[in-house]
Structure 1
Amino acid sequence: MPEQEPLALRKIVWSEVFPWLNLARCFRIAVQFRLLACGALGLLLMLTGWSLLGFLFSGNPAILPDVEPVLAPCPWLAAGELIGDRPGVFGLKWGVPPGDVAPLAPSPGRTVAGPTDRPRPGRATAFGQYNPAHPFWGVWELLSAPWRNLFDPNWAPATSTDRLVRFAPRGMRPVGAGQGPATSTDRLVRFAFLLFSGLWALGVWALFGGVITRAAAIELATYDRAKTVRSVRYAASRWRAYFAAPFFPLVGVLLIALPVALVGLLLRTEITGWVAAIVWPLLLIDGTLIALLLLGLLFGWPLMWANISVEGVDSFDAVGRAYNYVFQRPLHYLFYVLVASVLGALGWLLVWNFVAAVVALTHGAAAWGAGAARMEAIVGRSTDLGALGSLTAGLIAFWVQGLKLLGTGFLFSYFWTASTAIYYLLRHDADATELDEVCPEEEPSPQTAEAKTSAAPTAPAGLPESQAE
């Protein structure tokens, strides 16, 4: 018998041996200009809406700590303050104390704790608290903040005026007098503010998050870039599905909580309270169901966007799969999130320093011609500048903040891209579905093309086509 030649191992496809290595592709996808612009535009619209809501609700001094983090005279300028003017490490400027770092944090209901920065005169500062070293967790926390703070049992109204908005003009700062215990009106106003803030953020990212996840879904599965117009059309046509998906668990929570609330009415008097005590084990079962629904929603809502973008399904199916993957593969999910967080932090470090270097090098080159003192006055928007000088400084700041805003968009483009990649991995683990299976891009069907052709007018015999109508 002829001897068989030994098989030679020529290549190992590590992404097939370790599928989670596909998470390393998220950075390359997230830094595409179109996705950066999409993330930046979504952030700008979200902050603008939150700022307007903040000014509308700032008349109630009791909810001042919840309103002040989102107030900003110009969200365009405030959103870009997360990135500095010089390179550093994880947002820390060289030679500047950590307390001078400007955070992002536009989250309704999040209280500003202590001093965070010392802004230059005349410059808008960013608002709230945000850890720039964790873009994945940070964006998740930011987008879910209004909903998590909606039913905060530890909330108390403002009791002093020492927490005024630091960056609003003095004439626009709300003034809060000392407050007593929270009244039902205060709680209702706070509930309305957080609810509208959450709905606005959900509506914004139902579109922009859908565009990013759809583009990422196509490229992660096919290694081809999806056309931006098709991604926008896809997300716009399914906007209702993206928007409604997180509400299905909340409706379930409401339906389960209503019987508990009705039984709670029996506790108002001692005569009927013993009846509620007897059926209390049943209420604990309802409480367990509520906890499971909220837990799945808390950790699974990003997967709903990815599911709709990958599978092209409705909201109900997106909720079902998200809950299935969260509870069926919790350790896998945790591992993928940790890997995505580490890779995202490294990517953010690169993007942050690149944008800061562009700004620093541009300012340095311009200082050769304008002079160091003059350039410092323009960059710092000194009050000694004249009318035209102030206009020049403001226009330069506008363009610089626009570049920083584009860089900040990476946080959101990476978050949605990584969420899509994690969905692919969880689907592969739970359903043994290949990583390259995705709902194809919508193409005109042959029947539609034939119908359009047959519907086109034909020229009568003897007449040129240009005269046929």
Structure 2
Amino acid sequence: MKMNQKTSLLSEPIPYKILFPWLHLFRVFRLAIDFQKILLAIAGLLMLSLGNYLFNKLPFAPEAPPTTRIASIQHTIQFPPPSSSSVPHSLSVEGLTGLSASHSGELLSPATLLEPMSFFTRPVQTLFETGASWSALAYATTQLLWAVIIWAIFGGAITRIAAIQFAQDDHIGCRAALGFSLKRILSLVSAPLLPFAGMGFFWVLCLLIGLFGNIPGAGGVIVSLLWGLAFLFAFVMTLILLVTLAGWPLMMTTISVEDSDGFDGLSRIFSYLFGRIWYFLWLAVVTLCYGALCLFFAAVLLQLMSYLAYWGVSWGMGSAQAQNLFQQDQPTLATTISLGWGSILNLLFSGFVISFFWSASTVIYFLLRKCDDGTPLDHVYVADEEQEEANELPLAGVAKSGEPIIERPVGADDASTDEETQTEENS
């Protein structure tokens, strides 16, 4: 009997994902290759580019604004691909992949995966520059607010789709996901902006210490004595800033998963990061390593597609004529259209990076929540609009077919009908 129990125990598969929940991170690639998420990511990038183009026209915009790119992740896919001029139709190693050693190093670095956060971190960096002009601060604030709004809509929609797929292995469309994020736009926007209000309070305290320096004679001594308080206020601001920058994607995910408000999204992430900081760092390291390999694979796949398309067309059109389609020194309509297809390839790659970023943030949130309070990984808020509408109406009975009959509230017309019926019965 004991031998049979041992044999049955040995034959059962080991629940690796229960013993090591972080193995769920390897599902991110499958979540990220969803075409709907990539489409939402591309739409977000286009809206960001449109906003930056309009912001550069504002009166307080810098004289030499940064170059606005549609796909600002990394332009890695080359179309036409690099090829050997001496061997027109050969599949060279560089032409096959389009990735030199330097490109491979860039793709395998965390910078590519963390590039989506730059939409949030770059304006914040400008806000904390010493000696920044009021126009630069206004421009950075405008960019920050626009980035928060755009990713609240499109990032919230991506995390909503990813949450439903991860927790329930179900799928919702772009329309339903965008409707979810638009209804909760205030919560999604307020969550990452609330910490800046707290930082502003401590910044005002530091500012007041600085004002003592304007006292003639004794100002410098007073400020020197109060440096300790300034360090204390700065320590609090440092903690708030680091948690905000690291937890901004998780705040979006919290609202998408829990259907909570901005304060709950903020408080949950502060609790998770302070309470499970080492587990969070481990999840981040695993995600960066795994994500770098996934992005490298996606870039090689797209570059190979670019090369084979150019290789096949050049055999029919001729190498010289095909190359003339990409002569930028004498741009024509054909050149513009051809280069536009190369931009589409880069948009697809950038959309995949954005989709991977938000999908990974969703899975990391589920794992942090499971580690902190033991909530099952399959727990996610599901809005059932039809059920809510049905609950508003009372059930009068059950028909023979088994379907409930919904009775309307008694109104004036119903009351008059009842009186007529009673009159007929009395007569």
TM-score bracket, shorter-length normalisation:
0.7 to 0.9
Contact 1:150 1:191 in 2 (8 A): yes
User: How far 1:55 sits from its partner (Å)?
Assistant: 4.8
Residues 293 and 3 of structure 1: is their aligned pair in 2 closer, same or farther, counting only changes over 3 Å? closer
Give the partner amino acid of 1:224: D
Question: Which of 329, 333, 351 is equivalent to 2:276?
Answer: 329
Partner in structure 2 of residue 295 of structure 1: 242
Partner in structure 2 of residue 81 of structure 1: 75
> Within 2, Cα distance between the matches of 1:331 and 1:12?
26
Computing the radius of gyration over CA atoms, which structure comes out larger, 1 or 2? 2
Residues 291 and 92 of structure 1: is their aligned pair in 2 closer, same or farther, counting only changes over 3 Å? farther
Instruction: Select between 32-41 and 271-280 the one with higher mean Cα deviation.
Output: 271-280
Partner in structure 2 of residue 424 of structure 1: 366
Give the partner amino acid of 1:197: Q
TM-score (norm 2): 0.80
Q: Does 1:363 align with 2:305?
A: no
User: How far 1:414 sits from its partner (Å)?
Assistant: 0.5
Partner in structure 1 of residue 127 of structure 2: 150
Question: Which of 185, 205, 210 is equivalent to 2:151?
Answer: 205
> Within 1, Cα distance between the matches of 2:283 and 2:328?
45
Residues 363 and 381 of structure 1: is their aligned pair in 2 closer, same or farther, counting only changes over 3 Å? farther
Give the partner amino acid of 1:228: C
Give the partner amino acid of 2:272: Y
Question: Which of 104, 109, 118 is equivalent to 1:141?
Answer: 118
**1:108-134 C-alpha deviation (Å, 9 max, x unpaired):** xxxxxxxxxxxxxxxxxxxxxx86743
Give the partner amino acid of 1:47: S
Contact 2:126 2:136 in 1 (8 A): no
Unpaired runs of 5+ in structure 1?
104-129, 156-185, 462-469
Contact 2:77 2:345 in 1 (8 A): no
Residues 373 and 211 of structure 1: is their aligned pair in 2 closer, same or farther, counting only changes over 3 Å? same
> Within 1, Cα distance between the matches of 2:128 and 2:392?
56
> Within 2, Cα distance between the matches of 1:424 and 1:349?
26
User: How far 1:316 sits from its partner (Å)?
Assistant: 0.3
Instruction: Select between 426-435 and 398-407 the one with higher mean Cα deviation.
Output: 398-407
> Within 2, Cα distance between the matches of 1:304 and 1:188?
29
Give the partner amino acid of 1:93: G
TM-score (norm 1): 0.74
Partner in structure 1 of residue 162 of structure 2: 216
> Within 2, Cα distance between the matches of 1:437 and 1:253?
33
> Within 2, Cα distance between the matches of 1:37 and 1:30?
11
> Within 2, Cα distance between the matches of 1:136 and 1:213?
16
Partner in structure 2 of residue 93 of structure 1: 98
Question: Which of 53, 56, 60 is equivalent to 1:54?
Answer: 56
Question: Which of 363, 376, 400 is equivalent to 2:342?
Answer: 400
Task: Please state whether the residue corresponding to 1:149 is helix, strand or coil.
Answer: helix
Give the partner amino acid of 2:164: I
Partner in structure 2 of residue 236 of structure 1: 182
User: How far 1:347 sits from its partner (Å)?
Assistant: 1.0
User: How far 1:308 sits from its partner (Å)?
Assistant: 0.7
**Matches for 1:82-121 after TM superposition, within 5 Å:** 82-85=76-79, 86=81, 93=98, 98=102
Unpaired runs of 5+ in structure 2?
83-92, 395-405, 418-427
Q: Does 1:376 align with 2:323?
A: yes
Contact 2:73 2:116 in 1 (8 A): no
More helix per residue: 1 or 2? 2
Q: Does 1:5 align with 2:10?
A: no
> Within 2, Cα distance between the matches of 1:275 and 1:265?
10
Instruction: Select between 372-381 and 208-217 the one with higher mean Cα deviation.
Output: 372-381
Partner in structure 2 of residue 448 of structure 1: 390
**1:367-396 C-alpha deviation (Å, 9 max, x unpaired):** 12211110111134462x7xxxx2223223
**Matches for 1:162-311 after TM superposition, within 5 Å:** 187-269=133-215, 270-271=217-218, 274=221, 280-311=227-258
> Within 2, Cα distance between the matches of 1:25 and 1:427?
17
Task: Please state whether the residue corresponding to 2:179 is helix, strand or coil.
Answer: helix
CA RMSD of superposed structures (Å): 3.3
> Within 1, Cα distance between the matches of 2:97 and 2:129?
32
User: How far 1:276 sits from its partner (Å)?
Assistant: 5.2
Percentage of matched positions with identical amino acids? 28
**1:47-103 C-alpha deviation (Å, 9 max, x unpaired):** 222233235469754xx3xx23x345xx37x778332234989x9835x684xx699
Partner in structure 2 of residue 16 of structure 1: 18
Give the partner amino acid of 2:31: I
Contact 2:37 2:355 in 1 (8 A): yes
Give the partner amino acid of 2:323: E
Residues 79 and 377 of structure 1: is their aligned pair in 2 closer, same or farther, counting only changes over 3 Å? farther
Give the partner amino acid of 1:352: A
> Within 2, Cα distance between the matches of 1:228 and 1:146?
29
Residues 46 and 382 of structure 1: is their aligned pair in 2 closer, same or farther, counting only changes over 3 Å? same
User: How far 1:148 sits from its partner (Å)?
Assistant: 1.9
Residues 37 and 378 of structure 1: is their aligned pair in 2 closer, same or farther, counting only changes over 3 Å? same
Contact 2:77 2:342 in 1 (8 A): no
Task: Please state whether the residue corresponding to 1:231 is helix, strand or coil.
Answer: helix
